[in-house]
Structure 1
Amino acid sequence: MTPTAHTPQHGTRPGAVPARPASAVVRDALGVGVTVGLSGFAFGVTSAGAGLTIAQTCALSLLVFTGASQFALVGALGAGGGPFAAAAGALFLGVRNAFYGLRLSGLLGLPRAVRPLAAQWVIDETSAVTLAQPDRRSARLGFTVTGATLYVLWNLTTFLGALGASALGNPAAWGLDVAGPAVFLALLAPMVRGRRERLTAALAVFLALACLPLLPAGVPVLVAALAAPAVLALTGGKEEGR
């Protein structure tokens, strides 16, 4: 999401960015929440195809609530990986949310009693909407609306996806097992724009495919993560042209 340029208004302190209308913040937050929340269908289908029950699938969405980690976990289990390797991959992908939390903590300034509950909603989408806001009031509104919308829809569509997959039988027989990876790639693709990002993505794919026949399920994704520091080392940490 690209922050909108703001034109100084009458009565605004020179150099200050005026607050956005609440309706604009809510519109953006709902757009993100609804769009991403509907992809819970894909997770429900993928999880059912990996052999998890409806209850286990729903528990993952309720308690973990970070799509990339959930897809990594059930994907590794579905490929025959052990629970520890699957959990390690999911945990690795979820670490980024801790860094989001450090940034959002100061920006939102939430009361101490509310922070543990708000931490459950600190994910890519809520962070993007929150950081795009020019002031604390708009940031809190964007975070709350995005988080609430996404949490409700993600869990609802997870249940419906798992229920539907169970009723249909084996998701692989219908080709539904590719829904999860397809959604994840669709969300990731817009972020891969610069030469450095493309090089990192290509190297990660190469590492994952090379390790796939050699290592247990769940481990190749950990090896693929080495692509980022490798590219940084090769480019000297310098920003490359888009």
Structure 2
Amino acid sequence: MNASSPRSSPTARRAARDAIPFAAAGFVLAISFGISARAAGVPGLAAIAMSAFVYAGSAQFAAVAILGQGGSVVAAVVAAALMNARYIAMGVALGPSLKGGRLRRALEGQAVVDASWALANRGDGRFDRHTLFGSSAPQYVTWLAGTIVGVVAGGALPDPEALGVDAIFPAFFLALLLGELSTAEAGAVAAGGAIVAVALGLLAPAGVGILAASAVAFVGAIGARR
């Protein structure tokens, strides 16, 4: 146990508590994913493994949607990769705040999801790694558990999307975004990314808009620091 443990453990526990609303929403949405995956013909164990190893809701839904429409596995993988491209910019920003060499930082970076990244952001270009780990842990547990419930008992449950529960996540992410818009530069970057994402979302294949918006945000963030 190192000298920072007495301080870091309470930080992680507090972050876990702060992430409970996101974890609860993720549980319900994961049930929907499990149901959708089975409806698209994805084997139950494959859907559960996807949640265990991919752990990215938007990418998983995109992949399942393509498979459900008769698309190939390759197309589904490409779409999922494009949906997750935003993590490149997020990882570059987070990297200096993680510890150890490249391998350790890569392993620690697996804890990144949108909510944990935002909660760990200190607002000065640095991130609290214990907040990152603490906030991601309950979200991972509920995402995996919800997928299992959806796969195993989905046939006996109403689809959460039919109840409008899928609107919970966008509302949470909007709240996270508003918390990050503390400067005019951040507002300009967010507006530019939103315009690109919406325009390409209407005109380009799934995932391209997210990729381009991530690039805009990355370039804008670098420019704002100079």
Cα distance, 1:64 vs structure 2: 0.6
- Matches of 1:109 and 1:229 in 2, distance apart? 26
Q: Is 2:27 aligned against 1:40?
A: yes
Q: Which residue in the other structure is 2:81 paired with?
A: 91
Structure with greater proportional helix content: 2
For the Cα contact (< 8 Å) 1:47–1:74, is it kept in 2? no
Rg (Cα) greater in structure: 1
Query: Could you tell me how far apart the structure 2 residues matched to 1:161 and 1:168 are?
Result: 8
Question: TM-score with structure 2 length normalisation?
Answer: 0.66
Q: What is the 5 A alignment of 1:1-242?
A: 23=10, 26-32=13-19, 34-38=20-24, 39-50=26-37, 51=40, 52-110=42-100, 114-132=104-122, 139-168=128-157, 171=159, 175=162, 179-180=165-166, 182-190=167-175, 191=177, 194=187, 197=190, 201=194, 204-205=197-198, 207-209=200-202, 219-222=205-208, 226=212
1:83-134 per-position Cα deviation (integer Å, ceiling 9, x unaligned): 2232222101212223333333321214666444323212222322322288
Instruction: Report the AA paired with residue 59 of structure 1.
Output: A
- Contact 2:44 2:151 (C-alpha < 8 Å) held by counterparts: yes
Q: Is the 8 A contact 2:31 2:148 kept in 1?
A: yes
Percentage of matched positions with identical amino acids:
25
Shift of 1:63: 0.6
Q: Match of 1:125, SS?
A: helix
How far apart are the structure 2 equivalents of 1:99 and 1:200? Answer: 13
Q: Matched residue of 1:153: which SS?
A: helix
CA distance in 2, matches of 1:230, 1:113: 28
Q: Which amino acid aligns with 1:87?
A: V
Q: What CA RMSD, in Å, does the superposition of the two structures yield over aligned residues?
A: 4.1
Deviation string 1:37-75 (CA, Å, 9 cap, x unpaired) is 231331332343242232122111111112222222223
Q: Which runs of 5+ in 2 are unaligned?
A: 1-6, 182-186, 218-222
Query: Contact conserved, 2:27 with 2:146, CA < 8 A, in 1?
Result: yes
Find the counterpart in structure 1 of residue 184 from structure 2.
none
Count of residue correspondences: 205
Cα gap change, 1:21 to 1:86, in 2 (>3 Å): closer
Question: TM-score if structure 1 supplies the norm length?
Answer: 0.63
Task: Give the 3-state SS of the residue equivalent to 2:128 in structure 1.
Answer: helix
